A = this chain, B = another copy of it.
Amino acid sequence: MRVPFETMKAEIKRVLLKAGMTEGKADACARVHTESSRDGVYSHGLNRVARFVDHIQKGWVDVNAEPSLIKQSGMFENYDGNLGPGVLNALFSINRATEVAKEQGIGIVALRNTNHWMRGGTYAWEAAEKGYIGICWTNTESCMPAWGAKNTCLGNNPLCIAIPREKGPIVLDMAMSQYSNGKLQVTRLKNESLPFPGGFDKEGNLTSNPGLIEESQRPLPAGYWKGSGLAMVLDLVVAILSNGLATAGIDKLSKGGSCVGCSQIFIAINPYLAGGKEFVERTLNETIAQIKSAEPVKEGGAIYFPGELAAKTRKENTEQGIPVDEGIWNELLRL
């Protein structure tokens, strides 16, 4: 079943208005959720609305809270998210970063005490669409073991980097776990194996069986010790620069799976700080040409740059409507 963009957005907006959001906020929030589904990130779009509303009702998200400026120094600004809606706090922050970058070349906004930003790529795309390099990351509660540990003690701390380009931006959106929880779940429900090992079973063996990883709670950091180290360092830098909570602090709030109180950073950079537009476009396109001209592993296969598949899905879902799980769609209609 496919639902047109405007239909989905209107229904999500209706639900958010009912949950107590003002008109403008419900509209912005509904747009972001709908765009995530439209771009193929179904787990953090429509599918996440019911849970978001639940978190509002539990009082974990204050629908009316807005970010407040704590500190400002040159191109750096520090805000408190006041536990408002994560999507709106993050949108505010990346837009503020682009405004500072417009004046000063670079803008850095560190945000503490916020909530789940849903799809991290949203904010990198937002910067790129305004013409800026966007670099954002967030911390989360613990959801994977550090390398060498059995139990979860690190967040998966998604990192997003976007570079504007005339023919469409290059956008990386990666969490530090090899697979998302959504991917584990979807693969298990299809009775399939992961393409590569995604974690350890209870006995400590690497496994491609998603169910065994859900059971052991031992998903694999991307690149083993590398993803583990990067997750830890990203967590610490964002907590320190936002004067906010690190994963260890978020865990103590014990809200489970919702990133309540997390810390985020949003960096916008004018891509023409050093070289002109012609140089930048040439650099991007030569690099894309280099990877595209490599011999594909599978005959007739293609090599994609980060964000290319999302743009393809966006086009398809804009034209044909956004695929939805009927159960989830009907649940939304009843909310």
Contacts and interface: CB of A to CB of B under 8 A. Distances in A.
A123 to B, nearest CB: 15
Given A106-B108, A240-B283, A243-B275, 7 more contacts: A73-B104, A75-B75, A146-B303, A148-B303, A149-B294, A232-B287, A243-B279
Interface string A112-132: 100000000000000000000
A26 interface: no
A170 to B, nearest CB: 6
A306 interface: yes
A306 to B, nearest CB: 4
Contact of A297 (B204, B235, B273): B204
A248 interface: yes
A240 B163 contact: yes
A239 to B, nearest CB: 5
Interface in A209-252: 221-224, 226-227, 229-230, 232-237, 239-243, 246-249, 251
Interface string A164-175: 000000101010
B290 A106 contact: no
30 contacts: A73-B105, A106-B108, A110-B273, A133-B237, A142-B290, A149-B291, A153-B291, A163-B233, A163-B236, A163-B240, A170-B233, A170-B236, A172-B230, A178-B223, A178-B224, A222-B227, A226-B227, A229-B306, A232-B287, A232-B291, A240-B271, A240-B275, A241-B273, A242-B274, A243-B274, A246-B286, A248-B287, A248-B290, A249-B283, A249-B286
Q: Which of A73, A161, A232 has the most C-beta atoms of chain B within 10 angstroms of its own C-beta? A: A232
A274 B233 contact: no
A43 interface: no
Interface string A76-93: 101000000000000000
Given A241-B273, A302-B148, A304-B148, A289 B78 contact: no
B233 A306 contact: yes
Interface size class of A (residues with CB under 8 A): 35 or more
Nearest to A223: B222
A269 B110 CA distance: 13
Contacts of A224: 178, 196, 222
A55 interface: no
Interface in A19-40: none
Nearest to A79: B274
